[in-house]
């Protein structure tokens, strides 16, 4: 995926959430336009602990990322075509193609990206958030498959009806009966 308009001082939490959401929902690479070493390290720490192979690359030229990719470019914007009304053919094409580069903004997205995208997709035609739009879009694209994966991290959460149970690579299991 590609995040446009990241402002390291203002968007610290939001862009971190974009990256973690992309990772949890199966993205392999997150491109960020502004350089932000701390963001790379923050997300990398989660990957080191919880597994997977999602990479965050910051300081990228977003036009070049979009122009040089072989993937289908889907720009998420409330002004686009509402995914709730898409034909199954569109999903089928996206799922069976070379892969998808999902683009989300932070501030106003330059018009050029609306032109460069193969599809301008709206997750409903109401304003909300890039994290919400990304999560819903990726969940529909992947039909929920990444949510059930084991990412084989050093830390694995063992789902509980109540309390917290976590498995560490050492084989020890920590139990926490307290509320989350
Ligand atoms: C908080 S919005 C800012 C939008 C900005 N005002 C503009 O005009 O482009 C940040 C990002 O959230 C995403 N987003 C927000 N609502 C959306 C929706 N209904 N459908 C798809 N994406 C949405 C878009 O990627 C957008 O660039």
Q: Print burial letters for 29-54: b (CB count within 10 Å at least 16), e (below 16).
A: ebbbbbebeebbebbeebbeebbbeb
2-149 topology per CATH: Alpha/beta knot (3.40.1280)
Ligand 1 atom nearest 104 alpha carbon:
25
Model confidence at 121, in pLDDT bands (50, 70, 90)? very high
Q: What spacing in Å lies between the alpha carbon of 174 and ligand 1's midpoint?
A: 40
* CA proximity to 100, closest of 56, 145, 134, 61: 134
Question: What confidence score (pLDDT) does residue 180 get?
Answer: 53
Q: What spacing in Å lies between the alpha carbon of 59 and ligand 1's midpoint?
A: 21
Joined together, the tokens standing for residue 43 give: 């997300």
Mean confidence (pLDDT) of the chain: 95
Joined together, the tokens standing for residue 153 give: 């991290």
Say yes or no to pLDDT of 10 above 60.
yes
- 124-132 mean pLDDT: 98
DSSP labels, 12-48: HHHHHHHHHHHHHTT-SEEEESS--HHHHHHHHHHHH
Cα–Cα distance between 104 and 27 in angstroms, integer? Answer: 13
Cα–Cα distance between 169 and 3 in angstroms, integer? Answer: 33
> What residues line ligand 1, using a CB cutoff of 6 Å?
76-78, 104-106, 108-109, 122-124, 126-130, 133
Say yes or no to pLDDT of 175 above 90.
no
| pLDDT per residue as tens digits for the range 62-94 | 999 999 999 999 999 999 999 999 999 999 999
Give the residue whose CA is nearest to atom 9 of ligand 1: 108
> Where do the domains of the chain lie?
2-149, 154-180
Say yes or no to pLDDT of 173 above 90.
no
Cα–Cα distance between 33 and 17 in angstroms, integer? Answer: 16
Cα–Cα distance between 71 and 87 in angstroms, integer? Answer: 20
- 158-165 mean pLDDT: 96
* CA proximity to 8, closest of 43, 58, 54, 45: 58
- 117-137 mean pLDDT: 98
Question: What confidence score (pLDDT) does residue 176 get?
Answer: 62
Model confidence at 3, in pLDDT bands (50, 70, 90)? very high
Mutation pick for ligand 1 pocket among 11, 76, 140 (CB with most ligand atoms within 8 Å): 76
Model confidence at 140, in pLDDT bands (50, 70, 90)? very high
Ligand 1 atom nearest 134 alpha carbon:
22
Q: What spacing in Å lies between the alpha carbon of 77 and ligand 1's midpoint?
A: 5
Q: What spacing in Å lies between the alpha carbon of 41 and ligand 1's midpoint?
A: 26
Q: Is 84 helix (H, G, I), strand (E, B) or coil?
A: helix
Question: What confidence score (pLDDT) does residue 149 get?
Answer: 95
Cα–Cα distance between 150 and 148 in angstroms, integer? Answer: 7
Low-confidence winner among 3-17, 58-72, 157-171 (lowest mean pLDDT): 157-171
Low-confidence winner among 57-61, 136-140, 141-145, 149-153 (lowest mean pLDDT): 149-153
Main-chain phi, psi angles of 115, to 5 degrees: -80, -40
Ligand 1 atom nearest 127 alpha carbon:
16
Question: What confidence score (pLDDT) does residue 170 get?
Answer: 75
């Amino acid at each position: 995926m590609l995040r446009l308009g990241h402002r390291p001082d203002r968007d610290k939490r939001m862009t971190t959430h974009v990256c973690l959401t992309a990772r949890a929902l199966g993205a392999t690479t997150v491109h960020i336009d502004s350089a932000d070493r701390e963001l790379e390290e923050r997300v990398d720490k989660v990957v080191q602990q919880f597994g997977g192979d999602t990479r965050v690359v910051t300081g990228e030229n977003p036009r070049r990322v979009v122009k040089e990719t072989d993937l289908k470019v889907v720009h998420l914007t409330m002004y686009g075509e509402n995914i709730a009304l898409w034909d199954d053919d569109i999903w089928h094409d996206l799922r069976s193609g070379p892969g998808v580069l999902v683009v989300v903004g932070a501030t106003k997205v330059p018009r050029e990206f609306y032109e460069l995208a193969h599809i301008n997709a709206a997750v409903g035609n109401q304003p909300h958030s890039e994290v919400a739009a990304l999560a819903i879009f990726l969940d529909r694209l992947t039909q929920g498959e990444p949510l059930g994966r084991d990412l084989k991290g050093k830390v694995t959460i063992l789902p509980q009806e109540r309390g917290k149970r976590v498995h560490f690579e050492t084989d020890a299991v920590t139990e926490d009966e307290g509320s989350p």
